Structure 1
Amino acid sequence: MDWLGVHFISELPDSGQVVLHCTHNPVLVLLAYLVACAASFATLDMAERVSHVEQPTSQRLWRWVGACCLAGGIWTMHFIGMLAFEAPLTIHYDLSPTLLSLLIALIAAWLAMNTLSHQQLPLWRCAVAAIWIGLGISGMHYVGVSAMRSSASLYYQPLLMGLSLLLAIACSLAALLLSRHLREGSGMFHQLLKYASSLLLGGGIVLMHFTGMWSMTLVLPAGSPAVPAIPDEHLQLGLTLSVIILLIIGSGISAALADKKLQHKERDLRRVNALLSQLDQARMSLQQVAHYDALTNLINRRGFNQLFAEKLMEKTRYGGMLAVMFLDIDHFKRINDSLGHDAGDELLKVIAGHIKSSTRSHEDVVARLGGDEFCILLTLHERDEARHMAQRIMHRMKEPIELGGRRMVMTTSIGISVFPDDGKTCEELLKNADLALYESKDSGRNNLHFFNTSLKTRASLELQLEEELRNALRDDQGLLLHYQPIYDLKHARVTKLEALIRWQHPQHGLLSPDRFINIAEANGMIAELDNWVLRKACQDLSFLSQQGRDELKIAVNCSALNLTREALATEIQSALRGARVAPQRLELEVTENALMGNIASTLALLQQIRELGVSLSIDDFGTGYSSLAYLKRLPLNTLKIDRSFIQDIPHSTQDMEIVQAIIVMAHTLHLQVVTEGVETLEQQRFLERYGCDYLQGYLLSRPVPLQDLHRVLDELDQRQDRLNPVLSNPGTGGPGSPDPAPGGPVLHAGASTVQLIR
């Protein structure tokens, strides 16, 4: 079979001269091998480049660059291999078949690069592509061989031709598989493996070429002389082609390397940009966290202070008014204690929405400073705008809120300070608004107050008193006890004293408890203050015993805050032991609100105190919210009726009925009754008639210091002795005087006597 002047699968002719002694130039063979290795390396490198390029346009570009390098390398290797062929003939090459072989090589190379562009390369796809690429390379080889022109004819051995085709397919498959493996990876070992693979593939390509050349036989017609070729011309041409193709391949590899580095830089730049973007987002998140409250999404204290400083600077420079409004939710702690903190958080969200909706969205700044405390910064034209805003918020707050299956209405206390009237700095305005807020709380809550200078004066005084009270407790100077007698109607004598603390202040004189007890409670000093009173009272009891007053008991008041301390019983025991006083001579007075605050823990503590032998009295009865169901369980000895029920007796029939009912109830519970605030004989006679056990008030004596107590007690005893004969004749009480109750003397005193005592 003849095709393009080449005889395929034909027997050699009988006539003709067979060219037996054909050789190859070893230098050109080595050059062909080097070109094949370079082409193989370029193919592997371009395949790796294509797999890492992200843009489709760049992928197409590098596919063509790789195809050109591979096609040019294989074709140049083939041509140099043909130049290396040395036969005793004059050989030249036809241009058309040569260019056609180059086109076939380019098609095969493009097919190879296109196959390597797929992200997934299963074995079957590699096998199919290898067959087509192998056929293309073989076609390129044999078409290129057909371009050889000489006086000899070409004959091929079929087996060797088939072997060369198989070698081309195998070489193509190996190239595809190696490229699939090598396109992912980096490092020195990866690069060495790529070099080794290039040498192996280059050897395979050269082997395929020379196997094809091995299958070829040249036959000279009979009588044709053999003319030796000029090998130097072939060597020079081969070297020229090698240099050209190696430069082309090197340029392609260099371009791929440069593009790879550029892409790495672009990736690094994108990574840096991504990191910068993440940092910006993190910075914004941190700023959000740093300047906004996570629960309500309002500005927090730090963000508010920053905005406040900016607005204050603006108003200071250009003029204008600002209002700082402090809001505190009334009795918010009850929500957390009863419904839990989750319900409290939900309530805060609703309240924040109410406050936000009541303000001007673009002009006012609403912040949550912490807990249930909110702050609003207002731009004002006149002072009343702040009042109207506060009233609008208070009205909005009165809307019922659904929470935990309940409908509740919350109220708020508001304090307002105005720039520049109430301060020129952020700290001063905030402090003054806070003072106004506490004034609203002290006024009964659900109220609003503007700051005024008297609040600052009072706050400064309270701060000064706080510091001086600490010093007085630490140095045990200035604090003293006054004692007010408590008269026993049954035994007709003074049997108890109530210890009342006073403070002899160096500047303000003698201060009553209402001036400093609240300060002690608000600043954590009440336990120390109560303990001082307890120890001092026990010491005074010991002193009274030395003066012959063994029958006297002392009643000591206990703060509601101190009643929650488990150490109270131990402190009482320690004070009694230190003064060597019998526990029965001490009575502890607690208010009914303190008793009902936490009945379970209070009951356990009172049981411990009663086991010591100390008596217990409920003070100011009738002013709180006692529950009789709990009251009967408490280990009490005495009930003290508050002075507010005595003041209008005998003019108030209602008060008289209330006091009578309290006395009956107390006796039913086996409690003794003390009535405080008794100032007139009519009040004393009424109480005696209805069975009151003890009297206390100005009718007997004002509270006096310990050094004056002995004299007051002696005067009361002497007065009682003088009145004993009168007591035997009830009619001497004067016209219209009520009869004394049976079983108890009446402490009669004329107007002059009462005036003397008071």
Structure 2
Amino acid sequence: MFTHPSMESYSVVVGEYSFSIILLSVVIASFASYTAISMNERMQENSFFHRNLWLILASIAMGFGIWSMHFVGMGAYLLPISMTYEPRLTFLSIIPAITSSFLVFYLVNRRRKSIGFNLISGVTMGIGISAMHYIGMASMVSDAVYTYDFTIFTASVAIAISISFIAIYIFSSLQHLMKNRHLKMFTSLVMGLAISSMHYTGLIGTTYYIHRDKIDSLHGVHQMNMTYLNISVSIGLGLLLLLLLLSSFMDRYIDYRVNYFESLTRIPNRRSFEKMLNSPTYHGSLAMWYIPDIEKINVEQGYNFGDKVIQYLGHLFSQWTSSSMKLYQLQGKRFVFLIQDVDGIAEFERTMNRIAEQLKKQTEIDGKLIKIEAVCAISTTEEHSDPKRLYTEALAVLEHPSTRYDYQVIRFDNAIHTHSFEEEILGSIGDAMREGQLFMVYQPKIIACTNGLSGFEALIRWKHPEYGMLSPVTFIPILEQSEQMEEVTNWIIEQVCKQIAEWVKMDYRVYPVSINISGDYVTSPILLNVLREMIKKYKLKPHNLELEITETSVVKSIKDAVKALNTFREEGFSVALDDFGTGVSSLSYLKQLPISTLKIDKSFIDDVPQSEKDSSILKAILAIGRTLSLDIVLEGVETEEQVQFLRQDSESLIFQGYYFAKPMTSAELLNRLAQRNLV
């Protein structure tokens, strides 16, 4: 290996390097590194696939990239001899590359990290690269023999370890920033150079000899038989990287299906429904079918049979959908039709009656004849302009004492149905706060330029014992109209302060938490007293909280609002203007309000960047915010395309949306942050 043959019998063979092939080999190594880092990034996120699958895929991509780079790089040294490769050693050489890559990604993804772990990872990666290189060299078959210079051999291994350590240190220390494409590309390039530098250093320390009897067999040009190997390596690498990229897209698609569709029926779920209903352009009618017997069927017939009943209902209702009439499933026993044609309410009601006729008939499911009781509530935006009321009104119909589950199709009547449902909501809110039915979730806000945390928004949820998970758009308007929202807001403030105090005790880093303050309560002196009391009680600082107000809460009395907000700012609280752009007076009042943050409503984000008009409007709003030196938070960011487009405009933005994280309980949030080493 290190012993030179007798120069009396052997002559040295010298070749030359092809720069274009060297460049190709570096590109392959860097591209493989980029793909591996992307796979590792998926391991950090909530994914449909198990994180170990992404660990294996990342290891295969990295290992295959090292292996491909070596054999492509071998073709960069042009020797005047014939050369082939022994198949078994050739493919055996990929094992140390994949194994070392697996160990490295496993180590850098441990929660506890240190220079020691990075050093171990660097040594592991360097040895893996070196082992792959020298096993690959051993697979060469030719008339020549070769030896290694011990000093350069040692240097090549040291270089592989050193540069691997540097790349891993960058990757490990800045792993939470790897969504920044430029940083990820730089890290990939460093890793690609680490792999390549070792290879070409090893080649420099390799001397080729040929027996003097075979000198006549030397060729005037390079005769290494690399054509088929290079083609197979390139095609194989291309197919592997394509597979890995497709798996990433598949995982994102599955995440989308899981988040927006019911698994049993494949019908759009509550999230899809709320997204449609919350659209400012939506005006139409809603029909909600309620199936009261699902729990009874589950108990008496078993959950498997209950699932088949739900699937049957999903299939039945789906037959009536059209381009203008969409179907959604809210939990197991509520199905909702939405149409955007207000003038078609009469035909809409006739369609629901035809569905009722079908439901009245007995049907056979899994060999059993059953009759499924149901009732349908219809609400329309003919009499009001707020589409969010449709769901509340439909619930009011379903829960009214006069409603029977005998296949009625009932249109909402304000004089009949409103009082009963709203009265029940208002009567149970006190118990909800005392018994833990109300609870808080927290949605992270992400800094665009670093992907680091900026803070959280606290959001209220209600798990009602009878209605299940009630959407805030259902109960908050009722509470606001009855002025009970002030009591609930006080409860929210205490819950958030209590939660922040718990995080402090757990020695977690504390980020600012935003609290929504609704209606005229912004100008109430009670609010300031409650804030002061809670800050003192839980030993917090005012900057731990941010108060989010809406335009509608200040336009009624702009002078009182400015005075109140100035007081909050003087006390040390930051203030955000929420849902900016949804009111007609936003621009005229914006310059008067002493706010620190501007939150852009998600309706301006939904169609970006596909809609040029929406994109132009959004850019104009962002320019206004920057001119006023405000922090800008964009709500409802849900796609990669939106993120990339918005980052082009400004990297000083703050993102909030399901693309980064859904609202989570404290336990879920801490687990998510621990995965990203942000606690």
TM-score by length of 1: 0.35
TM-score by length of 2: 0.39
Larger C-alpha radius of gyration, 1 or 2? 1
